[in-house]
Amino acid sequence: MSGVLQAANLCFQYPGAKRLAVKDFSLTLDRGDFVGIVGPNGSGKSTLLRLLYGALTPDSGRVLLHDRRLREWPRKAIARKIAVVGQEPFWNFPITVHDFVLQGRYPHLGRFGFETEPDIQNVEAALKKVQLVDLAERQVYQLSAGERQRMLLARALAQDPEIFMLDEPTANLDLRYQVEMLDLMRQLQRELGFAVLLISHEVSLIVNFVKRMVLFKAGSALAEGPPERVVTPQNFEALFEVPFQLHTVGERPKRYWILPSLKGDSH
């Protein structure tokens, strides 16, 4: 059975670059998947994500959405299937949280672009799911970093997508908000059944939330599979080029601590 999204043998090189940014990458994403792509900065993770949602076109290989080439889909139709939560700049223009989240309904609006009562209800439901109802009329520049990230998630929820793609969703958040964000994402994924593809370099955190991991280095998959198979000191040393120690706690679920080994550590 084919997945909701399939990528096969993707290759991409930026004009003038000396090497491929993405090289021979393949992935299948099904409903209910929670996949983390982890790797060092500059490894090509964000480029890969742009290929997977159609912002970039691969030089070779293909991306299929429901068994149809992604490039054949109209942009609004893609936006009804795939929501992207990326890193956005600090906003200093006047717009309320409610109106910002309402932007997520754009792919569903009719030819005249006017929202309907069901659109408003969808936005209110999204705000409730991320616990921002009380801040709906606040200006976005008045939010904390954690609140802004939940607002971005609410806008994506308002799209009513089948796939969420998240680009470093916990970057610039303190540990509490990192955990809250990923807990919320996992809770919503279980409740609504959509697929999640998340890229990050926060390995020690991400590994405890995803069902499947791709270790991504220099544009290629170094290893792929469930955390219990992929998470080894050897794999992470190859990924980040420093020695690692691996500690586990419990069994169901098993929790991982992945720590770089410092000079003078005993092994």
User: Is the CB of residue 146 less than 8 Å from the CB of residue 173?
Assistant: yes
- In this predicted structure, the answer to whether residue 14 has a pLDDT above a threshold of 60 is yes
Does the structure show a pLDDT above 60 at 266? no
CATH class held by domain 5-260: alpha beta
* Tens of pLDDT, residues 71-127: 999 999 999 999 999 876 666 778 999 999 999 999 988 766 678 888 999 999 999
Distance in angstroms (rounded) separating the CA atoms of residues 261 and 226:
24
Q: Residue 47: which residues within 8 A CB-CB, separation 6 or more? A: 12, 14, 21, 22, 56, 219
Residue 72 vs residue 255, higher pLDDT: 72
197 with 1: CB under 8 angstroms? Answer: no
Rg (CA), the chain: 19
Peptide bond into 253 cis (omega under 30): yes
| Chain centroid to CA 123 | 21
Confidence at residue 86, expressed as pLDDT on a 0 to 100 scale: 81
| In the predicted structure, residue 252 carries a pLDDT above the cut 90 | no
Among the listed residues 110, 53, 101, the one whose alpha carbon sits nearest the alpha carbon of residue 81: 53
Give the C-alpha separation, 225 to 142, whole Å: 41
Tens of pLDDT along 146-157? 898 899 999 999
State the chain's mean pLDDT as an integer: 89
What are the CA-CA distances from residue 216 to residues 32, 148, 200, 227, 240 (Å)?
22, 28, 10, 14, 10
Question: What backbone phi and psi angles, to 5 degrees, belong to 99?
Answer: -70, -30
pTM of structure: 0.89
Q: What is the DSSP string of 145-185?
A: HHHHHHHHHHHHHHT--SEEEEESTTTT--HHHHHHHHHHH
